[in-house]
Copies of this chain bind each other. A is one copy, B any other.
Amino acid sequence: MVERRKSIKVNEALKRVIKYAPQGSIHYIPIHQSYGHFLGDDLVADHPIPPFDRSPYDGFAVRSKDTEAAASTHPQNYEVIAEIGAGSVFTGKVGKMQAVRIMTGAQVPNGCDAVIMFESVKEYEACGKRYIQIKRRLQQGENISFTGEDAKSGEVLAKKGTYISPGIVALLATFGYKQVPTSKKPTVGIIATGSELLELDEEIQPGKIRNSNAYMVQSQVIRAGGEPYYFGQFSDHFTACFEQVKQALDQVDILITTGGVSVGDYDYMQDIYKELGAEILFNKVGMRPGSVTTVAKKTGKLLFGLSGNPSACFVGFELFTRPAIRKFLHAFHPLLKKETAILGADFSKPNPFDRFVRGRLTFHQGKLVATPIGLDKSNVVSSLGAANVFIEFPAGTRGYKQGSEISVILLDDM
């Protein structure tokens, strides 16, 4: 009576997901909406940076050779012949023992090859003219940011698939990207199944729980970079549910169902996949929790059958659905980011399968420390909100001591 399924390893399952996950289209959006998207094309400099020799400070531009004799015991005086604000250009000629007052970011006048900061000079007036006094020799090129020293014209400054952070937004603006090529976010449909589910405003009833997965997964989709669309809780009746899944799939890029994938008698997602003509990539993974996570493909789209158990649902989404969303987004690194950390507490369970334990990553004296959540039953629920990594305990291991080196998968990776 128990359906026998062929279990595959996590890495093999992930390979299949990545192989069949489709990539989305590229479209242009206004720069002020681009933060949090992924670059749909290389970001290329359309001009050198700096675009001209400029002053990094408010100060005075001079010819360095005129300061050769300047010393604290032997100050030199320079006539201030003009002043230029950022954005203005001085087109005159700067002669011997002359200076131009210059603002941060302004173009250094022709002939000048050094800038001295306001704070380092003494200013005075005499005979209706303005002067500064300099007490040291300036180097050629001192306090000048030269044309192209930060970036050349035509240089690729960020590759396609880069996450658009505030720093990337600054680059996009600098190089004139009023419209930004970005990867279209996948629409990710979510369907909850399970006759034990109560809506959020229903009173708790014997045997039933409120439908937390649907809302949790919606926020996981947003964090991963997709746009969730919640279809609601579907019927446990096969025919009705089949029609609902079929129609939902037509409307989205990726479809997630929660529940209905166990080998329990009331779990019929497998039959729905068959009826749909979807090809099942896998329906059992050698891992805990989430072993029943099922992924199928149908006409180029992926269907994720996540467990109805909240922990297993959470893990199944992050391990398999997130990389698919990231591939859709043309992300430079679609896979989960794995790091080494020190285990913050003993973990004594045996691990017949790869085990992914929700944990809290913290930093202690420059080291990564990951502590499993849920060992202390009394705070398992409250600490779930604080989980930011999966701690990975490989199959075939038995118990880890506090201080052991372990692998962690980062959940907040941007």
Q: Which of B103, B173, B384, B412 contacts A171 (CB 8 A)?
A: B384
What are the interface flags for A384-408 relative to B under an 8 Å C-beta threshold, 1 for contact and 0 otherwise? 1111100000000000000001000
User: Known contacts being A196-B105, A308-B86, is A151 close to B382, with CB within 8 Å?
Assistant: yes
Complex Cα gap A47–B217 (Å): 22
| Partner-binding segment picked from A13-21, A219-227, A293-301 | A219-227
Complex Cα gap A223–B88 (Å): 34
Complex Cα gap A197–B363 (Å): 41
Residues of B within 8 A of A34 (CB): 219
With an 8 Å Cβ cutoff, the count of chain A residues facing the other chain is: 114
Closest to A366 in B: B340
Complex Cα gap A167–B150 (Å): 42
Closest to A145 in B: B377
Residues of B within 8 A of A41 (CB): none
Residues of A within 8 A of B (CB): 1-2, 31-32, 34-36, 43, 45-47, 49, 51-52, 56, 58, 83-89, 101, 103-107, 118-119, 123, 149-151, 155-158, 162, 164-178, 194-197, 199-202, 204, 206-220, 222-223, 228, 230, 262-266, 308-310, 314, 339-342, 358, 363, 365-368, 377, 380-382, 384-388, 405, 412, 414
Q: Is the CB of B171 within 8 A of A385?
A: yes
Complex Cα gap A166–B222 (Å): 9
Residues of B within 8 A of A36 (CB): 219, 222
Closest to A1 in B: B123
Given contacts A84-B207, A86-B194, 19 further A-B contacts (CB under 8 A): A32-B230, A34-B219, A52-B206, A58-B263, A58-B264, A85-B265, A85-B266, A86-B207, A87-B195, A87-B208, A105-B209, A149-B377, A150-B377, A165-B388, A167-B384, A169-B215, A174-B381, A178-B201, A340-B366
Q: Is the CB of B212 within 8 A of A173?
A: yes
Residues of B within 8 A of A32 (CB): 215, 218, 228, 230
Complex Cα gap A295–B356 (Å): 47
